[in-house]
Structure 1
Amino acid sequence: MKLIDIASVIRSKNSGPYELTFDVIFKDFETYGKVKATQAVSKEKFCALYGIPETDVFHLVYFDPAKAVKITIRRPIPSGALGETDVYGAQQHAPLMGMEIEI
């Protein structure tokens, strides 16, 4: 299945000018628990999806109270810098929507 089928929210945003944060909030605690138990969203899978080295992932945290996964990465280009195309980081979550998940 795809992540978009089991998540109620998939979003990205700035976490300062040099970092992006991705949030995946699941529809229910049962699904979240399965994803967490199998580590279906992992640093390795995220890096493969985005084509970045694991050293660019600062945090990948499963947050139980919100039934969510939060991922913070180094921005490839600082917000507002020459050549940067998404100042707010709000369009970077699109690849996550199609991420294949096995739980």
Structure 2
Amino acid sequence: MPELRSLVSKLRSKNAGPFWLTIDIFCGSDAAYAQVSQGLSTTRVAEIFDTDGQSIKRFDIPQLNVVKFSLPRPTVQGAIGDRDMHGASWAALLGDLEI
């Protein structure tokens, strides 16, 4: 099974306000999009980020070959316990997933 990072053209995460993070998976082709969209469940993403699956918002955008997840930040942006103020390192946790 291939790793997610080898299937997609871009995998990024970013800050989506003080309470949310967004992870964008740009698949680059219809085939890669189909494989990622079907093979990556919201439940699996919730397990990786140790959050409740009900709080994750998932957006499948076939016209752009993009799968997007928005999830609550574990700590408020800028708080003492916030280890990634810009949210840029979260996508790396998904890159090793086998799809």
Give yes or no for TM over 0.5.
Answer: yes
Which runs of 5 or more residues in structure 1 are unaligned?
none
- What one-letter code is carried by the residue in structure 1 that aligns with 2:81? G
The answer (yes or no) to whether the contact 1:80–1:87 under 8 Å persists in 2 is: yes
Identity of aligned residues (%): 30
SS of corresponding position for 1:62: strand
Shift of 1:27: 2.6
SS of corresponding position for 1:17: coil
Per the alignment, residue 17 of structure 2 pairs with 16
Which segments of structure 1 move beyond 4 Å, counting only runs of 4 or more? none
Give me the TM-score of the superposition, normalised by structure 1. Answer: 0.88
Per the alignment, residue 99 of structure 1 pairs with 97
**Please, what is the CA RMSD of the aligned residues?**
1.2
1:42-95 residue CA offsets vs partner (Å, 9 max, x unmatched): 1111112222221331x1111012101000000000111111111110111111
Per the alignment, residue 25 of structure 1 pairs with 26
Which runs of 5 or more residues in structure 2 are unaligned?
none
5 Å matches for 1:48-87?
Answer: 48-57=47-56, 59-87=57-85
Give me the TM-score of the superposition, normalised by structure 2. Answer: 0.91
